[in-house]
Amino acid sequence: MLKREINELLTRTGPGTAMGDLFRQYWIPALLAEELPEPGSPPVRVKLLSERLIAFRDKDGRYGLIDEFCAHRGASMWFGNNEMGDNESPGLRCAYHGWKYDVTGQCIEVPSEPDNSTFCQKVKLTSYPLVKVGDVLWTHMGDPVNQPDLPEFEWVRVPGEQTYTSKRWQESNWLQALEGGIDSSHVSWLHNAGLKNDPLFKGSKGNEYNLNDMRPFFEVVDSDGGLFVAVRRNAEQGRYYWRITPWVMPSFTMVPPRGDHPVHGHFWVPIDDENCWVFTFDYLPVRALTEAERQAMKDGHGVHNEYVPGTYRPLQNKDNDYMMDRAAQRRGETFSGVKGIAMQDASLQESMGPIVDRSKERLVSADSGIIKARRKLVNAALALRDEGAEPPGVRTAHQRVRSVATVLPADASFLEACREGLTAIPGVPQVSV
């Protein structure tokens, strides 16, 4: 069980909070590039780390992420006009009284002021950088002086035909969502049917090891950027099947691969303290995704999900009890009655409440990865607050990691045996069984 004050520290990410300050040291996914596909795209409301913002792309194609509300009367800039005219300067004009802002949040026009007024130069909305890397628009919401190099996660650095990213709204605090990504022990239970049926999982030798050994052993080891959480199960001839999940601080995890299937993972981003975005990716280091693979992802298979049309809200959600199917549960097609890996996780994590009360939980030793991750987050947040220490995961070298699935002799150290496999090396295939 966790002390209430530690739970508060870990889960609150708004401005001025210790964990919020920690998140503001990193580049984090803000939205998908598809949400602002072209110059002049309609502005998009974005809430991140409990701050309401507007993302837009001006007529010159530049991305901006600024305070959602006009400095004049506080009207939402979502109603604004992203001006595209030949004689107009690039920028977003408030629909109420016509104040206009550029992508840096600088006010560039106040129509009620005289033509030669310099008043607008003294008005600037809070803004953050918004940069496209891969299929994702990233932002850094901290002090620009400490802005790190752009993210180097392999999934956003491989060519576009090798990668696919989706996102979904999860109605829970970010931490309980992330902890699902670190906790490997639930996979053999909650997701067991997916290993047999899902087009993006089925058919690998690793699935057999998974399903034949329901009581795995765990090893948790520090990495430069966070942790390696390794799970071993029995394989043939006294050897072990290892699945190694890297966690890079603050909230990036990668699922170990299965056979030649694409490698997947998540970036969990706080919207506010009771909601988060789950950015979910699949990629391959050395080959393009096939059309069938990409279509399966779009159809919600693997770790992706189906949507309420026109939104990033999952089709299965609180309003419909996640489309619980008791008959499928009885037939063993799903373990929880909920279809799909992503929504199996989300339904249970949302059921814990908006912010789970960790002072009442009863962990077991198999939860050591979660225990250690929480501790690393607390330590990093306090070291940042008290000493200004740079947290793990900020440096791009920490981000060049991969997950691994492999079979090793019983006496082998997974860390030694898989040192190369755990490193993202361009042009080298993933280590997978």
Partner 1 sequence: MAATRQPTLLQSCAWAATAKELAYRIDAPPKHVRTSRVIALDQGAAAVVAELATMPWHDTKFLVADAAEPDWLADELRDADFVMMIATANDGAATASTIGRECARRGITTAGIVLGLGFDSDEAVAALRPHARVLLVTRDRRDVVEVLSEVGA
H or E element at residue 82: strand 81-82
Per-residue burial over 36-45, b if 16 or more Cβ lie within 10 Å, else e, is: beeebbebbe
**Closer residue to partner 1 in complex, CB, 17/184:** 184
331 CB-near residues (< 8 Å, 6+ apart): none
Distance (Å, rounded) from C-alpha 331 to C-alpha 90? 58
**Of 329, 325, 303, residue with least CA distance to 314:** 303
Least distance to partner 1, CB of residue 392, Å? 13
Backbone angles phi, psi at 21, to 5 degrees: -65, -35
Distance (Å, rounded) from C-alpha 300 to C-alpha 116? 55
Least distance to partner 1, CB of residue 81, Å? 37
Query: Encoding tokens for residue 203?
Result: 């058919």
Least distance to partner 1, CB of residue 274, Å? 7
**Closer residue to partner 1 in complex, CB, 164/242:** 242
Least distance to partner 1, CB of residue 384, Å? 17
**Closer residue to partner 1 in complex, CB, 195/338:** 338
**Closer residue to partner 1 in complex, CB, 70/278:** 278
Per DSSP (E only), the strands in 171-297 are 217-222, 226-234, 240-248, 252-255, 263-272, 275-283
What is the 3-state composition of the chain as percent helix, strand, coil, each rounded to the nearest 5?
30, 25, 45
**Closer residue to partner 1 in complex, CB, 118/237:** 237
Backbone angles phi, psi at 333, to 5 degrees: -75, -30
Least distance to partner 1, CB of residue 343, Å? 11
The neighbouring-strand residues paired with 263 are 283
**Closer residue to partner 1 in complex, CB, 368/396:** 368
Phi-psi region at 353: left, alpha or beta (left = phi > 0; alpha = psi -120 to 50) = left
**Closer residue to partner 1 in complex, CB, 148/354:** 354
Is the separation of the CB atoms in 117 and 110 below 8 Å? Answer: yes
**Closer residue to partner 1 in complex, CB, 154/350:** 350
Least distance to partner 1, CB of residue 319, Å? 8
Least distance to partner 1, CB of residue 111, Å? 43
Least distance to partner 1, CB of residue 422, Å? 15
**Closer residue to partner 1 in complex, CB, 106/368:** 368
DSSP state, 145?
G
**Closer residue to partner 1 in complex, CB, 316/399:** 316
DSSP per residue, 10-64: HH--STTSHHHHHHTTSEEEEEEGGGS-STTPPPEEEEETTEEEEEEE-TTS-EE
Query: Encoding tokens for residue 341?
Result: 């890996």
Per DSSP (E only), the strands in 171-239 are 217-222, 226-234
Least distance to partner 1, CB of residue 245, Å? 14
Least distance to partner 1, CB of residue 237, Å? 15
Instruction: Please give the residue ranges that form the binding site for partner 1 (CB under 8 A).
Output: 1-2, 171-172, 217-222, 274, 317-319, 321-322, 347, 350-355, 357, 360, 362-368, 371-372, 375, 410-411, 413, 416
Rounded CA Rg of the chain: 23
